[in-house]
Amino acid sequence: MNPETPANSLTPRRRTVVKVAAATAALAPLAAVPAHAAAGPAFHHGVASGDPLPDGVLLWTRVTPTPDAVPGSAKGPDTEVRWEVSEDKGFTRVVGRGSTMARAASDHTVKADVRGLRQATTYYFRFSVGDVHSPVGRTRTTPAHDAAAPGVRFGVVSCANWEAGYFSAYRHLAARTELDAVLHIGDYIYEYKSGEYPSAENVVRPHEPKHEIITLADYRTRHGVHKTDQDAQAMHATHPVIAIWDDHEFADNAWSGGAENHSADTEGGWDHRMAAAKQAYFEWMPVRPSTEGTVYRRVRYGKLADLHLLDLRSFRSEQAGFGSGEVDDPDRTITGRAQLDWLKSGLAASDAAWKLVGTSVMISPVAFGSLPAHLLEPIAELLGLPKEGLAINADQWDGYTDDRKELLSHLRDNNIRNTVFLTGDIHMAWANDVPAKAATYPLSQSVATEFVVTSVTSDNVDDLLHVAPHTISLVAVGAIKAANRHVKWLDMDSHGYGVLDVTAERSQMDYYTLSDREDPKATSSWARSYRTLSGTQKVERADAPVR
């Protein structure tokens, strides 16, 4: 897929700084993994769909043709796999069928890019080999491009570390059958060796392979393990997933030429590792394959919302050191020139009521030591410090202030309204205004808003410090909000997910938290809701979640 064409038209590591309703009985048949004789073909990794269109959707599965054909093994014969799409889960009204090959060369994963479906319609799908059927999946197409869609609702998740806990957030999203899709904003897997993050004594369930993943076989194996998780299978079998990657699909703090968690001397060339990681990602995720090796693209929900999805790892410059004035260097980029131009032109041309931007790292500035702009800039220039204050995480857009300034100025100068950034990565939940000039906010205008979801399982501040919730974070939250007045809400303690509900009048994020990431039966509860009213460019608290 050409990223220039909308998809619907066919220096410590961050983790040491601060990166830090069960499914209903009706859904159980969709998520169940069939138990077949070991000698025959089987669908041990469930089914999935993604990247929906008004007339189609991408379907995914992985077949195990023989017992030795495990993920990453390169074993097992090429096998023909049939697929069916139906208007009912009993498959009495089949509207499409076809076949494809599951090959060892693609780790026996298969994709069917189905077209000819009706807009804004729920369908059911399954795969089969011989008389062996996969679980049944459920998916949904998008409204027509020019349709006046009354609303759209997404689940939003990020940062699911297998070793840190169970994926209960996925189970709770699977139970919400009213969702149009689930947005996965990055860190679907983690690359670390077992016991590195979290430390060995805090591992809830060990990685496979146990070593740090580097080769194509390694990445395939790690993806395969994640697709055996029952909650992940339930989510994928119930909703189309629209996914982008962040760094841990490759290695911690990845950039175009390397990563903090990569040593060329002992782990080989970065280009080979990134190519292996991308190949495994496109094989194992319900994302349309890209000849350009990127995931930036657009998905449109009628005239209500354009969803612009970014790739902030493939093209970025190396991260600057803490406190370095290099963050302001105009030659450094987080997006790359082509992607930034693509985003700017897409935002300017969009006739949708809402412009949603999926960004794997936070765009809102979070800095300390900010002075009024007329004082800060000359002092920073003399001292070689960042002109927008000392950023606490230069892996975010804070480390690439020229790209951010260009994008936000574009929103302001072209009067582009109702832009909402949807973000993960930082293992905390935030609701922010996005100011054109942070140092003078709120006197200077907000040009967009941002909703950040916390992690599914990955360590937050309390987990990293091994302290009870709110023992340290209350002080930290107060300090961050005092220095960054555009931050309206911040939860540093919880794990969970978000539900974004969009109508013509407002975009609202409902934040949900899990009772215990180490409990496979963890419950979910509503924590807080924030919304942006159309035309305001500001977030405000909402009294209740959308029902």
The sign one gets for the Cα dihedral 246, 251, 256, 259 is positive
Work out the number of other CB atoms within 10 angstroms of the CB of residue 479.
11
CATH of residue 97's domain is: 2.60.40.380
Would you say residue 31 has pLDDT above 70?
no
**2 lies in some domain:** no
Q: What is the pLDDT of residues 126-171, one digit of tens each?
A: 999 999 999 999 999 999 999 999 999 999 999 999 999 999 999 9
**Do both 184 and 70 map to the same domain?**
no
Q: What angle do CA 144, 145, 150 make, to 5 degrees?
A: 70
Q: Which domain holds residue 38?
A: 21-141
What's the confidence (pLDDT) of residue 367?
82
Same domain for 114 and 257? no
Residues 89 and 184 in one domain: no
Q: Are 203 and 162 in contact (CB under 8 A)?
A: no
Given this model, what pLDDT does residue 89 score?
96
Give 174's pLDDT tier (boundaries 50, 70, 90): very high
Whose CA is closest to 294, among 2, 56, 11, 33?
2
At which of 141, 167, 200 does a domain end?
141
The predicted structure's pLDDT at residue 193: 98
393 and 487 fall within a common domain: yes
- To the nearest whole percent, how much of the chain has pLDDT over 70? 89
106 and 200 in a single domain? The answer is no
Question: What value does the CA radius of gyration of the chain take, rounded to a whole number of Å?
Answer: 22
Among 31-45, 102-116, 219-233, name the one with the lowest average pLDDT. Answer: 31-45
Q: What is the mean pLDDT of residues 402-418?
A: 97
Contact between 167 and 160 under an 8 Å Cβ cutoff? The reply is yes
User: Do 446 and 356 fall into the same domain?
Assistant: yes
| Amino acid 388: pLDDT | 64
Q: Are residues 123 and 172 in the same domain?
A: no
Of 141, 158, 191, the residue that ends a domain is: 141
Number of domains in the chain: 2
Tell me which residue of 513, 517, 507, 509 sits closest to 491, measured CA to CA.
Answer: 513
The last residue of one of the domains, among 106, 141, 176, is: 141
6 located within any domain: no
Cβ atoms of 230 and 23 within 8 Å: the answer is no
Residue 4 located in a structural domain: no
More confident of the two residues 321 and 510: 510
**Together in a domain, 349 and 399:** yes
Q: Is the pLDDT of residue 30 over 70?
A: no
Whether the predicted pLDDT of 433 surpasses 60: yes
Residue 268: its pLDDT value, please?
A: 97
Answer yes or no: is 132 within a domain: yes
What is the average per-residue pLDDT within 526-535? Answer: 98
* Whether 119 and 168 share a structural domain: no
Residue 536 burial class via C-beta count within 10 angstroms: exposed 0-12, middle 13-18, buried 19 and up: middle
Regarding whether 173 and 84 lie in a shared domain, the answer is no
Give the C-alpha separation, 307 to 454, whole Å. 20
Question: Do residues 185 and 59 both lie within one domain?
Answer: no
**Do 49 and 62 reside in the same domain of the chain?**
yes
CATH code (residue 432)? 3.60.21.70
Residue 268 placed within a domain? yes
Q: Is residue 93 a part of any domain in this protein? A: yes
Unique residue bearing structure tokens 């994928």: 236
Full-model pTM: 0.91
Answer yes or no: are the C-beta atoms of 388 and 439 closer than 8 Å.
yes
Residue 13 lies in a domain: no
Q: What is the pLDDT of residue 476?
A: 83
Token pair of 322 as six digits: 């803490």
Residue with tokens 């009985």: 25
On the question of pLDDT at 389 being above 70, the answer is no
d(CA 217, CA 284): 12
